[in-house]
């Protein structure tokens, strides 16, 4: 009868090595969590590009902004609401485009209802105290004050995320 050699048996980890590994792992996780929480929200990022936060509906789950200005914004689901002037807007779950100071272009995922048709909004330009929305070659301007608050899907406005109460 032969027994396996000791070289194939598992070796118990050294408690100091294990403690060091756990310390490094917990510090790495804490550092990663700090970096994520320091990232600006999509609404704060919009303001840094000279746009009011209310052009995005409430409920942004995440976003990606690349160095070339292209972006992706993810909502919790498709969103539809009315804005001043009785226009109805629809935001898809994923919104893409390119952003630079005062300009959003190559937009996908945002549309406006004109009569009975949904037409994609291709761009938004800030011009003084107004926002100019482009639908192909046509445009319509609205005062910035219409976009101070974030619309809620289904109606209402507010950019703040509701607090959860134990009561």
Domain residue spans of the chain: 42-147
Query: Quick one: pLDDT band at residue 150, thresholds 50, 70, 90?
Result: confident
Question: How far apart are the C-alpha atoms of 63 and 52, rounded to whole Å?
Answer: 17
Q: What pLDDT shows up at residue 35?
A: 44
Q: What pLDDT shows up at residue 38?
A: 79
Q: Which of 111, 108, 142 is nearest to 127 (CA)?
A: 142
What mean pLDDT value characterizes the chain?
77
Taking a C-beta distance cutoff of 8 angstroms, is the pair 109, 134 a contact?
no
**How distant is the alpha carbon of residue 78 from its chain centre?**
14
Summarised one tens digit per residue, pLDDT across range 7-42 is: 554 455 555 444 444 444 444 444 443 344 578 999
Summarised one tens digit per residue, pLDDT across range 92-110 is: 999 999 999 999 999 999 9
- What is the DSSP track for 53-99? GGGS-S-EEEEEE-TTSEEEEEESS-EEEEETTTEEEEEEEEEEEEE
Q: Please give the CATH topology (third level) of the domain spanning 42-147.
A: at5g01610, DUF538 DOMAIN (2.30.240)
């Amino acid at each position: 009868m032969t027994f396996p050699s000791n070289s194939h048996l598992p070796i118990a980890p050294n408690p100091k090595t294990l403690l060091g590994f756990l310390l490094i792992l917990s510090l790495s996780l804490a550092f990663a969590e700090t970096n994520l929480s320091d990232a600006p929200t999509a609404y704060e990022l919009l303001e840094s590009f000279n746009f009011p936060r209310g052009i995005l509906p409430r409920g942004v789950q995440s976003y990606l902004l690349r160095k070339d200005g292209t972006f992706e914004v993810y909502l919790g689901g498709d969103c539809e609401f009315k804005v001043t002037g009785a226009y109805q807007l629809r935001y898809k779950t994923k919104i893409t485009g390119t952003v630079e100071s005062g300009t959003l272009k190559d937009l996908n995922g945002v549309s406006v209802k004109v009569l009975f048709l949904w037409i994609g909004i291709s761009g938004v330009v800030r011009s003084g105290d107004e926002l100019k929305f482009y639908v192909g070659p046509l445009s319509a301007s609205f005062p910035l004050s219409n976009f101070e608050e974030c619309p809620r899907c289904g109606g209402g406005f507010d950019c703040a995320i509701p607090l959860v109460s134990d009561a």
